[in-house]
Chains A and B, each alone.
Chain A
């Protein structure tokens, strides 16, 4: 019997779900639906090499028409999904008749949180290829770039703008950047990283309003100061694209809510992957949603497996992983880090040009790690997270690799 799997969302999660279905031997029809009329493309380079002009747009294509055809993936691009008739197995689309499915994969991702200070030319967000093109065009005009939000995307765009020779000011209401993710010591190092690379940082201060027009904005800050900028980038996080599910009856709570096998809790033939998916992580014992590239890929593979192995589905229990490139730092975060979790830090950014912060909840076992410029440490931590390793074992392995050697072990 021929079945049909419809995948909604034509970015990394959706494309990998389609490819993984074929890899698992799925022989039914696969229809990949996307709102964006562009052929599927990858997002991480949008704040890095594509924004810098170092990579061609063609290099970030995830799927060409030819590859789609070879893999038997039908593309239905330029049509937003507007709803699901769950009982009738129909996906409703904008400007298109409804599409019938046996399985549906929701991979609609997230959108940049819109600017609360007005949306007009020169005030940018960065999520789509079109966003990146527009921002780059304005960066090339020169002048100061003001970045609101020192999270991953804001920080990466700031670094890229510096590499293009622009003056850059980064503003964040958190007194210590990245302190929602890392402990304060590392947060301070992030601040130093920006300043050492010529970025002006204003932390612990919010933005009240943005006056003026493209080319000559004035940002009024909550501390009374003003910042002048030609271009503004608002990087204040993302929100899951789940509003279109409103009338479907599926449970939505900051993302579509899924069980441990990534099936909608109220419709087991509907699955979710990527930034839009909130699923039950059995090992963490909670429902979580992750906005990272590797998660979209791994979750897509798991969903493809579960669609093709209905008798023996796999629970999805990944170890979190994200990377970020800022100035000359390659930052990699594995597992769960930060907050007030107990940690040790091996290496120092100024002394060694690299470091690894190892986090533990029970004082013994590795629970997560933040690693900068240190491939060996990254690998040891990623492997160790899988097999179970103590932070002492890692210290004994990694510390001898440092040059100069730490004076006294603490």
Chain B
């Protein structure tokens, strides 16, 4: 199953990912992304990839 990975060093807390897929991404108190789940079923793939690509600092990737 594809998985989503986050680069916590790169994350700047813009929250685009949270707006894109609120069931996969959240922010912690310091404004750093939190992955609510990492496995991405095929049905969610396009939506979560779109959310990952909306990250302005490319901190997120969906990998096979």
Which positions in A face B, CB cutoff 8 Å?
16, 19-20, 23-24, 44, 293-294, 297-298, 301, 321, 323, 330, 332, 375-376, 378-379, 382-383, 386
Are A293 and B29 closer than 8 Å at their CB atoms?
Answer: no
Which residue on A lies nearest to B50, using beta carbons? A301
State which of A20, A44, A378, A382 has its C-beta within 8 Å of the C-beta of B56.
A44
Q: Are A294 and B27 in contact (CB under 8 A)?
A: no
Q: Is the CB of B16 within 8 A of A321?
A: yes
- Complexed CA–CA distance, A332 and B49 (Å): 23
Q: How far is the CB of A299 from chain B (nearest CB, A)?
A: 11
The distance in angstroms between the C-alpha atoms of A378 and B22, with both chains bound, is 14
CA distance A347 to B59 in the complex (A): 29
Closest chain A residue to B19, Cβ basis: A382
A18 to B50 CA separation, bound complex (whole angstroms): 12
Contact A294 B53 (CB under 8 A): no
Q: Contacts A376-B27, A382-B18 known; list 14 others, CB within 8 Å.
A: A19-B53, A23-B49, A44-B56, A293-B56, A298-B54, A321-B19, A323-B14, A375-B30, A376-B31, A378-B15, A382-B15, A383-B18, A383-B22, A386-B19
Does A16 lie within 8 Å of B53, measured CB to CB?
yes
* A161 to B21 alpha-carbon distance, docked (Å): 36
Q: How far is the CA of A367 from the CA of B13 in the complex (A)?
A: 21
> In the complex where A375-B13, A378-B15, A379-B15 touch, is A23 in contact with B50 (Cβ < 8 A)?
yes
Question: A386 vs B30: C-alpha distance in the bound complex, in angstroms?
Answer: 23
Question: Please, which residues of chain A bring their CB within 8 A of the CB of B53?
Answer: 16, 19-20, 297
Query: What is the minimal beta-carbon distance from B2 to any residue of chain A, in angstroms?
Result: 12
Flag if B50 contacts A20 (CB, 8 Å). yes
CB of B15 within 8 A of CB of A330, answer no
Q: Does B38 contact A (CB under 8 A)?
A: no
Q: Which of B10-58 contact A (CB under 8 A)?
A: 12-16, 18-19, 22, 26-27, 29-31, 46, 49-50, 53-54, 56
- Please give, as numbers and ranges, the residues of chain B lying within 8 Å of A24 by CB-CB distance: 46
CB distance from A97 to the nearest CB of B (A): 32
B13 touches A294 (CB 8 A): no
A44 to B57, CA, bound (A): 9
A294 near B16 with CB under 8 A, answer yes
> A375 near B31 (CB under 8 angstroms)?
yes
